[in-house]
Chain A
Amino acid sequence: MSPQHYLVLAGILFTIGVTGVLIRKNALIVFMSIELMLNAVNLTLVTFSHFMRSPDGQVLVFFSIVVAAAEVAVGLALIVALFRLSGSTNLDDFNLLKW
């Protein structure tokens, strides 16, 4: 398999993630879509790293996984706290702040 296969797959996954963030209204689904974007990037990095015989990309993937884990911890905590307060995870319900 050539790197193109992996890169195109990663591109498709990234696009699905972006689309999900833009059209879905549930905070959890939006968050899942963001995770999909990050994992698409990880796939891209690993592909480049493998085909260029350079370890840098794989090192960055480790950092990216750690960051994603930290983001999950913070993000889910925020969603839970807001759900307790307002009883909703729908982003359209969060409209206290606007001009």
Chain B
Amino acid sequence: MSLTIPTVNLAAIGPELALTVGALILLLLSLGRYRRSTGLLLAVALGSLAVAFALVIAAWKAPVEAFAGSVALDRFAVGFSLAILSAATLTVLLSLNELERSYLLLADYYGLVLFATVGMLFLASATSLVMVFVGLETLSISLYVLAGQRRTQASSLEAALKYFLLGAFATGFFLYGVALIYGATGTLQLREIGTYVGTHGIFGSPLFAFGVLLLLIGFGFKIAVVPFHMWTPDVYQGAPTPVSGFMAAGSKAAAFAALVRIVFVAVGPTVVNWTALLWVLAVLTMFVGNVLAVVQDNVKRMLAYSSIAHAGYILVAIVAANDLTNSSVIFYVLTYTFMNVGAFGVLSALASRDKEALDVHELSGVGYQKPLLGLAMAIFMFSLAGVPPTAGFMAKFYVFSAAVKAGYIWLAILGVVAAMISVYYYLRVVVYLYMREPDGETTAWPRLVPAVGVALGVAVLAILGMGVWPGSVMGMLRQAAALL
């Protein structure tokens, strides 16, 4: 038994360090007399996010690996980190809406958002199962608390408790999977596990195969893959609206980053044995998510089912397992971040202390009463549905073309069919926004908070920009694929 002290290279965890410092400052501020000064809290949160952005972008030029191969801030991680940091930044801004301001203790809340982001970033750059576990738990535990932020509202606490119990349950499976893989291979580093699989094959020992299966169950819970999706609608509906968007986009991006790395680095050599299983999961996830979303009247719940379906589309690219996989997954995750956080953001911008318009009927005529918010919501819905020229269309196009190129024609066809089902319920929202008279008394919608407006504007521009010029973004992401 020998222990070697690994070389410490703080550059590899620079973004995480910046966010941790920011979060700690916020927690300290929450004790003192500055806890109500929104401007200062916002500045600290956005400042640390900006530093993290800068460090992540700097790592694009100079990828680093450190801590005995446990963390690798390579271009693959950078791609996902950009999506995660965008989700966090938008969430920080969107949480300043009227309803959330009435009960949130912003200092604690921003601190938790930053801690969750730290976990997500670690997950994106983790190259050992220990780091994957720590990242996953850092993000999950912060999100359990964030989901229950409406402390006086039973539905929010219920959502938090359900999320917590099922999340911790999934952690048990995940960790048991890690333990069995460790028992079979004697290592926790993804690359060394890959070497083991290269010589023994994935079914070389039943211990290893069972461990991989348990690991997959744990991940299935986190990214809400059917049949492990049951918690998603309840949690997204009950959690504060900006948090739902953050959960959907950020944790999905992070968990997919880790999943892709595990699939291609650790079990890469025999990836063929996996694909049958992942194929079935992808198809199930796309169809169950989309079909159940059709019958939802509550828009938050509908978006929750839609997020399940989107996880299915991303799985399609992972099944393809070719040179297009990484870039199309990153493109999808980036797009999904903007359109999904944006959609939840519009809902939260429409919420006031007296009324939270969550039912699709309550959105009747909003397109005329609040033209800008209505337009933004319509763009997000078109993008989620995959209508050109939005980024949502290009994202689906890349994912399905990866599948076609790998020869999974049927998978792509089923994916397109599932996407066509989804058009119904996305456009239903647009119909209510523009083509229905508001029933009964006209409601006074709250005034748009500037920070919320800025966040929504950025999201709209990002979606249209990536939709109209996808080539330049994709060209960059292709280089991310090569380096993994």
A-to-B contact residues, CB < 8 Å: 7, 14, 17-18, 21, 27, 30-31, 34, 37-38, 40-41, 44-45, 47-48, 52-57, 59-60, 63-64, 67, 70-71, 74-75, 78-79, 81-82, 85-86, 91, 94, 96-99
Chain B residues with Cβ below 8 Å from A57 are 179, 182, 188
B154 at the interface (CB under 8 A from A): yes
Chain B residues with Cβ below 8 Å from A47 are 183
B296 at the interface (CB under 8 A from A): yes
With both beta carbons as reference points, the residue of chain A lying nearest to B301 in the complex is identified as A99
Q: Which candidate, B12-20, B160-168, B249-257, B278-286, is the interface stretch facing chain A?
A: B160-168
**Total B residues in contact with A, Cβ cutoff 8 Å:** 45
B291 at the interface (CB under 8 A from A): no
Annotate B128-159 by CB proximity to A: 1 below 8 A, 0 otherwise: 01100110010001001100100110110111
Chain A residues with Cβ below 8 Å from B1 are 53-55
A81 to B160 CA separation, bound complex (whole angstroms): 11
Chain A residues with Cβ below 8 Å from B8 are none
A60 touches B165 (CB 8 A): no
B165 touches A97 (CB 8 A): no
Q: Which candidate, B77-85, B86-94, B169-177, B458-466, is the interface stretch facing chain A?
A: B169-177
A17 touches B141 (CB 8 A): no
Chain B residues with Cβ below 8 Å from A54 are 1, 186-187
A74 and B161 contact, Cβ closer than 8 Å, known pairs A21-B169, A34-B172, A64-B133: no
B234 at the interface (CB under 8 A from A): yes
A98 touches B234 (CB 8 A): yes
B295 at the interface (CB under 8 A from A): yes
A78 touches B164 (CB 8 A): yes
A82 and B161 contact, Cβ closer than 8 Å, known pairs A48-B182, A64-B175: yes
A81 to B152 CA separation, bound complex (whole angstroms): 9
A44 touches B186 (CB 8 A): no
B133 touches A81 (CB 8 A): no
Supply 18 A–B pairs (Cβ within 8 Å), ascending by A: A14-B176, A27-B161, A40-B176, A41-B176, A41-B178, A47-B183, A48-B182, A57-B188, A60-B133, A60-B182, A64-B175, A67-B171, A75-B164, A81-B157, A82-B157, A97-B158, A97-B238, A99-B301
B383 at the interface (CB under 8 A from A): no
B175 touches A74 (CB 8 A): no
